[in-house]
Amino acid sequence: MLSEFLLSEMNRLGANDALPLHRQLYEALRRAMLDGKLGAGERLPSSRDLAQDLQLSRNTVVAAINQLSVEGYLASRVGSGTYVNDSVPRISPGRNGQRTAGWASAVPPGRLSARGLALTSRFCATDLEVQPFTPGIADFSAFPLTLWQRLQNKHWRMTYPDMLDYNTSGGYAPLRRAIADYLRVFRSVHLEADQVIVTTGTQQSLELCARLLADHGDTVWVEDPAYWGAAKAFMASGLAIHPVPVDDQGICPDMGDDTYPPKLIYVTPSHQYPTGAVMSLPRRHQLLANARRHGAWVLEDDYDSEYRFSGPPISSLEGLDTDGRVLYMGTFSKVMYPGLKLGYLVVPKTLVDAFKQAHYDLNRPGQMPVQAALAEFIEMGHFASALRRARQNYAERRQCLLEALKPVLSDARVGPSISGAEQGLHLCLRLPAHTDDKALAQRIAQQGLTVRALSAYCLQRSDLKGLVIGYGYAPLADIRRCGPLLAAAVQRELDAAAA
């Protein structure tokens, strides 16, 4: 039976690779199709039936089926069900017991480069499943889509021929002015509109900085624990990553780190990802002094500064820079929606021409009608209104999650604590150093919830354990329902450790 094969494959995968349940099911179903146990055109059991047969949550089953559908293995037919795609290749035995695709020639598959292997073996987002408490995800269900569509349609109707071409000036001028005005007032960034370069987001901003400001093999200091997207960007650019530990005041380099002189220093000073630490003023001055001493550039990623829930707003690191060493970057994905794929990079005046030229040569930027719509969205006050509504909604969700986690925090025997809850869309539940946070995250996943083990973000250190918990994507009702389940799972772990 199919269910027996799937259970066998999932048990093997869980024992050998410790994959999340939805990923185990994905791999098992994929293997069933490639091995011919699920033939082309064959109908898949319903998600409800599969969940019952395999004793899994329906969310887990749906996540696996959705991923296979996106990758082309499955096709849905309205009112009929989900079927194996006719184009799925079958794997047949080859010479010496090797397995080859039924449609492929005998040419051996290509091998990844060493860089490719590194990129695909660490900090992979393919196991990301959008469920309550997934960190790093915003809720865009309340976005004023009708208004946004009306603005886009307006600018498509008005579009001149040059708006359909590549752009050589760093982005649509009114949008760059709107970004500059916003950053001057709300983030204390010292800039002129000409210093703003519109990118497709933080990843492209990081790649531009890495390519233009460092050579292959140069060293970049990266916070430890780290934002995986930054680590990926630097790895892809051939840079040597040197992890620098983070404490409750931000990145904390010591004399030993000076033996690895950096060309770039990447930081998230206003809300360190993932711990949530805010870099103190003395530490900011120390970091700028380190950059000056090494002749390094500082890359400031201000990824979620729009959402500050307690205390005064945290000013940018760039606002303290007197040497023109800080490059500041941000994104619209947390307030607008991720698929917008628009961000910005603020570069020192001495770098403006070079960055514009390289951005054009490497990326052929465009999307001028979309940029024009966004400029008007900001100028007419819609961005500020959307931000106020989102900030209020996220504040309620944050408070609800904190209330749900209170019983765990009251356990004085082991002293778990919360960090990073003052800002952003996630918080970090810090756990004792002996906790197996990865195993705990796996057990929580079996309840249909997604949290991240803090240790999974660490580059080198092994002393940090905890859970990174997002509340941006989770509706208030889900937090009320699932928050106690999450707290209970953590409490069981603490009780077992104390026994």
Determine the angle formed by the axes of helices 47-54 and 2-17, rounding to 10 degrees.
Answer: 60
Q: How far is CA 337 from the centre of its chain?
A: 13
**Model pLDDT, residue 131:** 52
Q: What per-residue confidence (pLDDT) applies to 327?
A: 98
Q: What is the CA 101 to chain-centroid distance, rounded?
A: 33
Q: Which amino acid is at 376?
A: E
**By CB neighbour count within 10 A (0-12 exposed, 13-18 middle, 19+ buried), where does 166 fall?**
exposed
| Domain residue ranges in the chain | 2-110, 145-380, 385-498
Question: Domain 2-110 - what CATH class?
Answer: mainly alpha
Confidence of residue 87 (pLDDT cuts 50, 70, 90): low
Residue 490 pLDDT greater than 80, yes or no: yes
Token pair for 94: 């080859």
pLDDT of residue 351: 96
The tokens describing 291, both together, are 């950059």
Q: Rounded to an integer, what distance in angstroms lies between the CA atom of residue 152 and that of residue 146?
A: 10
Answer CATH for 145-380 from 3.40.640.10, 3.40.50.2300, 3.60.10.10, 2.60.40.10: 3.40.640.10
**Neighbouring residues of 33: CB distance < 8 A, sequence distance ≥ 6:** 73, 84, 88
Amino acid, single-letter form, for residue 243? P
What residues contact residue 233 under an 8 Å CB cut-off, 6+ apart? Answer: 203, 206, 207, 210
pTM: 0.75
Six-digit token pair at 341?
Answer: 């794929």
Structure tokens given for 84: 């194996």
Report residue 107 as tokens: 């040419």
Rg (CA), the chain: 24
**Residue pair 230/267 in contact by the 8 Å Cβ criterion:** no
pLDDT tens-digit readout, 96-119 = 444 434 433 344 455 777 677 766
pLDDT at 335: 86
pLDDT for position 17? 59
Question: b/e map of 409-427 (b: 16 or more CB within 10 Å)?
Answer: eeeeeeebebbbbbbbbbb
- Tens digits of per-residue pLDDT, 372-415? 999 999 999 999 999 999 899 999 999 999 999 999 986 545 57
Q: Comparing 2-110 with 385-498, is the CATH topology the same?
A: no
Burial 133-150 (b: 16+ CB within 10 A, else e): bbbbbbbbeebeeeebee
H/E segment holding residue 383: helix 382-409
Tokens of 395: 């504040």
Q: Taking a C-beta distance cutoff of 8 angstroms, is the pair 220, 266 a contact?
A: yes
* pLDDT(245) > 60: yes
Phi, psi of 465 (to 5 degrees): -135, 145
Residue 443 has pLDDT above 80, yes or no: yes
Helix ranges, 247-367 (H): 281-294, 352-363
pLDDT computed for residue 99 by the predictor: 41
Distance CA 327, CA 266 (A): 10
Query: Any idea what DSSP says for residue 42?
Result: P
**CATH number of the domain located at residue range(s) 385-498 in this protein:** 3.90.1150.10
Neighbours of 304 (CB within 10 A): 24
Say how many Å lie between the first and final Cα of the chain, rounded.
Answer: 42
Strands 250-251 and 240-247: antiparallel
Question: Which residues contact residue 291 at a Cβ distance below 8 angstroms, ignoring those fewer than 6 apart?
Answer: 262, 265, 297, 298, 323, 325
- What pLDDT does 296 receive? 97
Count of other CB atoms within 10 angstroms of residue 213: 19
Is the pLDDT at 71 greater than 70, yes or no? no
How high is the pLDDT of residue 297? Answer: 98
212: Cβ contacts below 8 Å, ≥ 6 apart: 351, 354, 355, 358
Q: How many CB atoms lie within 10 A of CB 63?
A: 25
Separation in Å, CA 419 to CA 273, 276, 310, 482, 488: 11, 6, 13, 20, 19
How does residue 137 score in pLDDT terms, banded at 50, 70 and 90? low
Q: Using one digit for the tens of pLDDT, what is the confidence trace for 326-363? A: 999 999 988 888 888 899 999 999 999 999 999 999 99
User: How many helices, marked H, and strands, marked E, lie in the chain?
Assistant: 15, 16
Alpha-carbon gap, residue 396 to 384, rounded angstroms? 19
Residue with tokens 């570069």: 347
217-237 average pLDDT score: 93
- Residues near 188 by beta carbon (within 8 Å), at least 6 away in sequence: 315, 316, 319
The SS3 call for residue 420 is coil
Counting every residue, how long is the chain? 499
